[in-house]
Structure 1
Amino acid sequence: MPPGSLTPEELLGFNGPITPESLLAPHPPEPGLYDWIDTPMLAMQELLRRPPQEIVVAPASSISEILSQSEIDNLLAVFEKKYSPWLHLSMDHLRRHPFLDLAKCAVAARDLDPVQRSNVIPRLNALADSYSFKFAFTSAQSMETVTALLILSLWTPPPNTADSPGRDSRMIASSAVSAAIQLSLNQAVAHAVQLSSSRNDVGDSEKELAVNKVRLWLSLLSAEWMLCMGTGRTPTSQRSDLDYEVFNIISPHTLNSRSRDLRLYFLTRMQSLAGKGLQMHLKDGEREAQAFHDEVVENVLIQLEILYTSIQPLGVATDYESYHFNVLVMHYHSCRLLVLYHILGELRRSEAGRKPDAPAGARTWYSGLSRAHAHAVREWGLDGVTTAQALLIAFVSHPGSDSEFLATAPDSVFSMILMATALIVLAKTSLLRHYRGAEKIVLITSEELLPKVAARLNHIADVSDSARRCADVISVLLRTFNAEAQARTEKALQWQTDEPQREPSRPAATPGTPSSSSSSDLSSAQHHGMSDPQLGLPGLTFDSVFTQHINPSLTQDIMLDQEFWNSFALAQTALDPQMYVLIACHSGAIL
């Protein structure tokens, strides 16, 4: 069964609904169990999905039965000012259409006061769902109906009842792509390029119409790919090298006048590169590992960095819609992060397949890596951690008004923020368990960063359900990590006090130096005497948090285990001998 036909729960390997707790819960060591890190964006989308609201909605056949004309006009003006920049295109050329007006008003209605919102939004959403179903299966398409579907795919409301399935953003985006193909918008780029190179006299109005079709098509591609990347689902829209020919002549002098074109150009470029990286798979063989590394670095990661050199300054280089350029930087980090975790997963699966008969608990997946694999994991693992932090820093650091900008952001922005946060907590948890003391050197300032992320999200929690749920999930992750950190500290102190009475003392282990005991013995000593604080999460044992068993004979603890941090410590001490002293002092006698 293809991934797109499975429910998110089936894709993620969970028996029940996906919750923050289920991401942290232990999984049975079954071969082939799905690892949520393989599809991190799917997990984030499910966590941000709003619960149903038990509301009795009075039926309506048109928007005029819900809003007065003046209210409609006001909401259309709000949408144009606050929400249209997220589409990266202008809609001035579009005609008024009942479906398009409805889609705009359904999204802009979140700017109403709470009483009006509670009365109006459920009715608008119910009507929008019926319109979506109607226009998804009709041949009477127009640029206006395609744009309406595009809008509804980016801002998803909660279902009105527990029995309703809720809006599937990816399916709506796919419907928009199908509708666009009916209008031959998939050929718009080629047509626009042909017009621009034609020697025949072509009127400005014809050229502008062709470019507007390109804008709509690329915006559709961007929305669908954004909703599919990192979910295991394949976009229905296809890219071509021509897609970048129309807007590649934008100069610094046109930043303000053509800023949306520029964002669309860069967004589609980075998504194309990320999509290429997500399709790369590691074959068996030592030479294949080196070829895989070279291909990923040369064809994806370096190309993304080259693109980033142009994207990075735009948030301060332009005075027009600078906040949206700042979010473009976040998109870059998100694309890079998805690629990094995909290729790390490829290395891990390769190792699990190479040693299917290894005795259980004999070694962690990283400690058994070949030299080429180990170098790649160290390089990409640390890149992933710094990339996740960079995304959150870009989010927190922008001075823009939260109510003016963040509150209007599409759901995908909050999925990016949550993914970066979750992966940082994964790394911190790995450090806590497998290299005690290193968490005081690596990622320590994230303990100040992550609460600031949650606080900024809470600023607009009363307006944006996605922001509120994102902040709630982050709070659960932080409470879980902090509870384990405190419990491990208390138990470690108790273990140090009781240790001479239980067994002979032994020399302190040195970072990167194998001890006389095996990795499994070290892990056992590390967790010796540990109880499992549960924070009200039934069945949660912290030793299994984030542990995914791809092969029952290999312990799979995400990507950052003890051997990884040992290797990291050695690399640091080679550059700075004082780092050795710092790590050793923080590590103490227990690793």
Structure 2
Amino acid sequence: MKRSSLVVAGGNPSQKRSKKNQACTNCKKNKTRCEVLDTSNVHSLGCHRCKVLSLPCSLEDGEVQGDSPSEVAASFSAANAPNVSTSIHNFERAEFPVPPNSEWQVFGAPDWLETPMYAIQTLARQGHPSDGEFMNHVDACLNDILGANTLTSLLQMSVNRFIFSTTLLKKSYSFEQKFSPWLNLPPSMTSNAFLRLTQCLVASRLADLINREVVVWHLQELVEKSLGKLAFQPTSSIESLQAIMTLALWAPVGGRHPVARDGRLLISAAISIANNLRLDESIAYISRVESAEHNADCPHDLEDARHKARLWLSLINTESMLSMGTGRVPLSRRTDLDRNVADWPSAVASIVSGRDSRLALAGQIYTLAESGCRVRFTQREELEAYYQEVSNILRKFDSLSILIAPLSGLALQLPFRPDRIISYISAAIAEHENLQFFAMHMELRVCRLLVLKHCLGQLWEVYAVGLFAKSWYRSVICNGGCLPFVWSKQVLLLSQDILSSALSRLEQPTELSTMPDSIFCFICFAAAYLISVKVAVYNNRGKAIPGPSDMLLVRTRELLTKASCGAGHIAAKCAQLIASLMGTYEAEVLRQELSSQASPAHACQRSHSPSSPPSVPASETVQGQQHPDLARRDGQLGDGLGVHANGVMSLDMLDSDFWALFMDNLATDVQTPHIHSVN
């Protein structure tokens, strides 16, 4: 009968030696079971069968293959220790476990027992050319295309670009100085040919136009050939990973045959490679090491693990930025350690600490935005809970704004005590890379705008049904106010605030040209949302919203045009999109004018309707100035007042009727048939 595997009360559990010490010599010859039952005497460790048959046992003579008798005794005594589980899942971890991807540069053979399929795949790939040979080929092609001097200039050095009379002005367009701060990574001491290739391709947008047209096409062709080979290799290096992230942030500008590129697909490939390389475990490894009792014995590769952790945070922040508002769910998942990594930097006095701060704060922004866009409202009975959840998210946005706005040099306009805000701003201005902090604060406001837009859409889906769909917003009352009115005002003011702050801070063309492509899309989104509000309100009320919204849009279009490095640059495409949307709005204004002139009775009826205040005659004056004729035929906008065919209106127009019309047209699809894609 088989011996029961259960432990008898008061007895010793059955023990197993390691596989290399399974049996003594006699038991192996006879192929019988070999067990050591008496472990009390460490000098007599013969097996039970040899003792019964009075045979010499190899275990007593220390001839065991592998461990010595003392080691065998120690293993048995450890196994017999009380309160120690023998489950294979509860093994004791090393004090400092092996860091993730410690063998990136020298790949060892995979474990056949633990990962048999991966071992087969690795052996099958051994006949292919090495990665080093391919990188040498890329490096040689890169030097042939650019030359040593231009290659050095694009990566590190400064070159002479403009000559005015006898003055030689030096202008740097190196990647390290102009583009690297946007990655929020410390300067890297290592690189490979593919990373240098992508950096030269991105930095070439600031080169002379003639040189760029000649060089970019060859660089882009080499990038496309290299990307397909390196992006999906399981042994890709962290340098190649950073190169793919760079391509996702900055699309090439110029070239003979520009091709639309989706940065979301590139960053998804980078995330998959990072998961294969276990970059997502770097922060957990650092946390275990730093929380250990013997901190003085920290591994020598801890700094390398920190570099990998920064790269992982930069990757997931980039994926969130490129996926925000696109309907794409990020592949990466943030852990509590990723979210709490904000405790790393203690100040922003240095460049490295400032970049660490941006890594941590950007992660909090996108985590908050993603949680806000996941909020769902399905039943009217849940309105109170829905309001509280959204309000909590908006308060967290305010808290983050308090942290970020001073670092970017912006004044806060939050309902707090002015003396506290002023004292905080004067003491917390970042000493380096203020432009990157400003862009991050703008991303925060765009994320808040997206969350508010999502929340308004959730209300509309639940309440805009049935017989009262036209006036659905009037029944959404919570906390003593109408939620659609409150949130709609915030949306309109927020979109204008994003544009006005961009105009006030972004002035230098070189700074604008180096920004990631997604930031231009953020600015364009705020402008497009503002135009959609203007079109919807004018269609239903026949009057434009007051304020300098028209001039704000004109200046935004000019700003993006100035930032453009060429016809294929995303800034130029966004400027063209804003111009098309503005043309749609002006065409709608002109159509309303012609309709009113052709049907005076209709215009009179519309001006006396209950939902629209009487129009102001064109002969009225505002602050002593004659109001100009706004029925323009040349397609030009007004001179800054944002008013068109119906005269100047007072701010009293922004009453409940205005917001009611805005909510009626929340789902209005503004038709723009002549818009060119920004991709």
- Indicate the structure with greater helix content: 1
* Equivalent position amino acid for 1:378 in 2: F
Other-structure match for 1:312: 405
SS at match of 2:482: helix
SS in structure 2 at match of 1:456? helix
Distance in 2 of aligned mates of 1:497 and 1:113: 60
The answer to whether the 8 Å contact 2:503/2:555 transfers is yes
Out of 592, 615, 620, the position equivalent to 1:488 is 592
Do the aligned partners of 2:349 and 2:430 also contact (CA within 8 Å) in 1? Answer: no
Structure 2 residue 178 is matched with structure 1 residue 82: yes
From the superposition, tell whether residues 424 and 229 of structure 1 become closer, same or farther in structure 2 (CA, over 3 Å). same
Cα distance, 1:208 vs. partner?
2.3
From 330, 354, 370, give the equivalent of 1:275. Answer: 370
Is 2:485–2:660's contact at 8 Å kept on the other side of the alignment? no
CA distance in 1 between partners of 2:489 and 2:292 (Å): 50
Checking the alignment, whether the CA contact within 8 Å between 2:540 and 2:661 is kept in structure 1 is no
| Aligned-residue offset at 1:223 | 0.7
Matched, 1:244 2:348: no
Q: How many residues align?
A: 451
Higher mean C-alpha displacement, 306-315 vs 378-387? 378-387
Are 2:341 and 1:211 aligned?
Answer: no
Of 529, 540, 565, the residue aligned with 1:434 is: 540
Q: Does 1:340 align with 2:452?
A: yes
The 3 A distance-change label for structure 1 pair 562 and 380 is closer
SS of the residue 2:332 aligns to: coil
Deviates more, 1:136-145 or 1:393-402: 393-402
- CA apart distance, 1:324: 1.1
Paired residue for 1:230? Answer: 325
Aligned positions of 1:343-492 closer than 5 A: 343-352=455-464, 354-355=465-466, 358=467, 363-364=469-470, 366-367=472-473, 369-372=475-478, 375-398=482-505, 400-403=507-510, 405-437=511-543, 439-441=544-546, 444-463=547-566, 465-492=569-596
SS at match of 2:509: coil
Whole-angstrom distance in 2 between the partners of 1:506 and 1:117: 57
**C-alpha distance in structure 1 between counterparts of 2:394 and 2:564, whole Å:** 35
Per-residue deviation at 1:216? 0.3
**Is 1:191 matched with 2:285?**
yes
SS of the residue corresponding to residue 245 of structure 1 reads helix
Aligned AA for 1:386? L
SS in 2 for 1:312: helix
201-210 vs 117-126, which moves further = 201-210
Matched, 1:509 2:610: yes
Equivalent residues of 2:488, 2:659 under 8 A apart: no
User: CA RMSD of the aligned region, Å?
Assistant: 3.2
Report the Cα distance in structure 2 between the residues aligned to 1:247 and 1:267, rounded to whole angstroms: 10
Aligned match of 1:21: none
Q: Which has the larger radius of gyration?
A: 2
Quick one: structure 1 residues 90 and 486, their matched pair in 2 at CA, closer, same or farther if it must change by over 3 Å? same
Matched to 1:297, the amino acid is S
C-alpha separation between the residues in 1 aligned to 2:262 and 2:140?
22
Encode CA deviations 1:147-201: one digit per residue, 9 max, x unaligned: 1111111111379687x96432111101111111122110111112222222322
State the partner residue of 2:676. none
Is 1:147 equivalent to 2:251 in the alignment?
Answer: no
Shift of 1:400: 4.9
Change (3 A) 1:485 1:259: same
* Shift of residue 92, structure 1, vs aligned partner: 2.3
Q: For 1:389, give the aligned amino acid.
A: Q
Classify the secondary structure of the residue corresponding to 1:89: coil
- Higher mean displacement: 61-70 or 265-274: 61-70
- Secondary structure of the residue that 1:313 maps to in structure 2? helix
Once residues 197 and 509 of structure 1 are traced to their aligned partners in structure 2, the CA distance between those partners, rounded to angstroms, is: 69
| Correspondence 1:284-323 to 2 at 5 A | 284=379, 286-298=380-392, 300-316=393-409, 317-323=429-435
Evaluate the alpha carbon distance shift between residue 511 and residue 131 of structure 1 in structure 2; reply closer, same or farther with a 3 A threshold: same
One-letter code aligned to 1:145 = S
In 2, Cα distance between equivalents of 1:339 and 1:135: 37
Query: Against the structure 1 CA distance between its residues 458 and 150, is the aligned structure 2 distance closer, same or farther, given a 3 Å change threshold?
Result: same
Q: 1:410-469: per-residue Cα shift (whole Å, max 9, x none)?
A: 1101110110000000111122122344x343xx21112111111111213244711111
Deviations 1:224-256 (A, max 9, x none): 111111111111111112113333243446365
Name the amino acid aligned to 1:227: L
TM-score by length of 2: 0.61
Equivalence for 1:33: none
Q: Which moved more, 1:204-213 or 1:173-182?
A: 204-213
Q: What is the rounded CA distance, in whole Å, between the counterparts of 1:247 and 1:379 in structure 2?
A: 32
C-alpha contact 1:219 1:264 (8 A) present in aligned 2:
yes
Amino acid in structure 1 at the alignment position of 2:494: T
Asked if the contact 1:329/1:391 (under 8 Å) is kept, the reply is no
**Percent of residue pairs bearing the same amino acid type:** 29
Whole-Å Cα distance in 1 between the matches of residues 278 and 607 of structure 2?
Answer: 74
User: Does structure 2 conserve the Cα–Cα contact (< 8 Å) formed by 1:89 and 1:260?
Assistant: yes
1:147 maps to amino acid: Q
Report SS of the residue matched to 1:318.
coil
Higher mean C-alpha displacement, 475-484 vs 419-428: 475-484
Query: 3-state SS of the aligned residue for 1:150?
Result: helix
Deviations 1:459-488 (A, max 9, x none): 132447111111111111112212322432
Cα gap change, 1:104/1:462 in structure 2, threshold over 3 Å: closer, same or farther? closer
Letter in 2 for 1:68: G
Distance 1:486 1:90, change over 3 A: same
Q: Are 2:444 and 1:328 equivalent residues in the alignment? A: no
User: Partners in 1 of 2:659 and 2:596 — Cα distance?
Assistant: 19
Letter in 1 for 2:446: S
CA distance in 1, matches of 2:275, 2:297: 24
2: distance between equivalents of 1:499 and 1:114?
Answer: 53
Deviation for aligned residue 1:494: 5.3
Contact residue 226 and residue 412 of structure 1 kept, 8 A: yes
- 2-structure distance, mates of 1:174, 1:428: 37
Contact between 1:367 and 1:563, CA under 8 Å: does it hold in 2?
no
Alignment of 1:100-111 (within 5 A): 100-111=195-206
Q: In structure 2, what residue type is equivalent to 1:85? A: P
Contact 1:192 1:246 in 2 (8 A): no
1:202–1:407 Cα change, 3 Å:
farther
Q: Which has the higher contact order (CA 8 A, sep 6+)?
A: 1
Q: Relative to structure 1, is the Cα distance of residues 367 and 319 closer, same or farther in structure 2, using a 3 angstrom cutoff?
A: closer
Name the SS for the 2:489 alignment partner.
Answer: helix
Taking a change above 3 Å as real, the CA distance of residues 400 and 508 of structure 1, as seen in their structure-2 partners, is closer
CA distance, structure 2, for counterparts of residue 506 and residue 406 of structure 1: 45
